[in-house]
Amino acid sequence: MQLPTGASRFVFIFAHPAGHVGAPRHYTPYFHGNGLDWHMVPLDIAPEHLTETIRTLAKSPSVAGFNLTMPHKPAAFELCDAVGPAARFEGVVNTIRIEAGGRLVGESFDGGGFLNAAREERVFDPDRRCVVIGAGGAGRAICHALAAAGARRLRILNETPGPVETLAAKLRSRFADLEISLDEKFDDASLVVNATSLGLRETDTLPMDPGRLPVDCAVFDIIAARRTEFMQACAARGLKVVDGVAMIKHQLPLQTAFWRGDA
C-alpha cells in the first residue's frame, strides 16, 4: 500500500454520518493505478459546517477536490461558483474541483456512473419501463441519466410527493417524449433502482417487496457499503442484481478527469 507523504494530494469525501463510507478502498487504488499520488479521505461533517470546511480545505494545494454524499449534495450545489450541465439540471453536485483563486466548480456524476454501469451489466432497455425509488440527489441524477439516454417510460416513487412531483415536471419540460408515471406499480418493470439510503443499516426496511417484481426484472441497488437485504431477497428470486460498487467504479474515471481539469 502506498502511504501518503507531504507531496501527496487528497480528495475528501464528506458524509453525515460517515461510518458506512467505504469509497477510499476503490478510489485510492484507482488513483495510484493511474499514476496519481492521490488519496481519498472520508470526513463526517455536519451540514452546518459544510461551507466553512470546504472553503478552508480549498485553500490548501494538497487538496485535489471533494466528493459529496448524503446529505450534502444539494448544499454543495449552492456553494459552487459554477456547475456543469448535469448538476444544473439536477440541482445537486457530488464532485467539486478547485480552480485558481479558490473558485469551486461542481458537477454531478451519479447519473453517468449509474448509466455506464447499467449498460455494461446489460440491465437498461430504453424501450421498457424503468422504476426509480427515491427522488433525492442520487434519484434525480439517475432519472436524468435515464431520460437523456433515451428511456421511453419511467416511473418515479418517493416517500413524500413534493420532490417527485417537482422532478417529474422538470423531466417533462426537457424530455417531451418521456412517459412518466408516479403510481406504485412494478408489474411492467424491466429495471428497478433503489436510489434511497435504505439498506445502509441491517435494520432498515426494504425499499419495496421483491415479490412484486416480474421474473425478468433486473435490480440496481446503489448501496455500495454492504450487500443489502434487498439485494439478497431479489437474488434469491433469481433476479439479476447490480450493486452500488459498479456505479462507483464507473464514476471513478469521470470524476478523476474532472478533478484533474481534463473534463
**In this structure, what C-alpha cell is assigned to residue 227?**
450487500
Burial 207-242 (b: 16+ CB within 10 A, else e): bbebeebeeebbbbbbbbbeebbbbebbeeeebebb
**In this structure, what C-alpha cell is assigned to residue 43?**
470526513
The residues, any chain, with a CB within 8 Å of residue 196's CB and separated by 6 or more, are: 133, 134, 136, 139, 207
Q: Which of 59, 73, 185, 249 is catalytic?
A: 73
- Residue 182 Cα to chain centre, angstroms: 21
- Residue 91 Cα to chain centre, angstroms: 13
* Strands of 153-157's sheet in order across: 179-181, 153-157, 129-133, 189-194, 218-221, 240-242
The verdict on whether 240 is a catalytic residue reads no
Cβ atoms of 15 and 42 closer than 8 Å:
yes
Query: At how many degrees (to 10) do helices 24-33 and 244-260 cross?
Result: 50
Active-site annotation, residues: 73
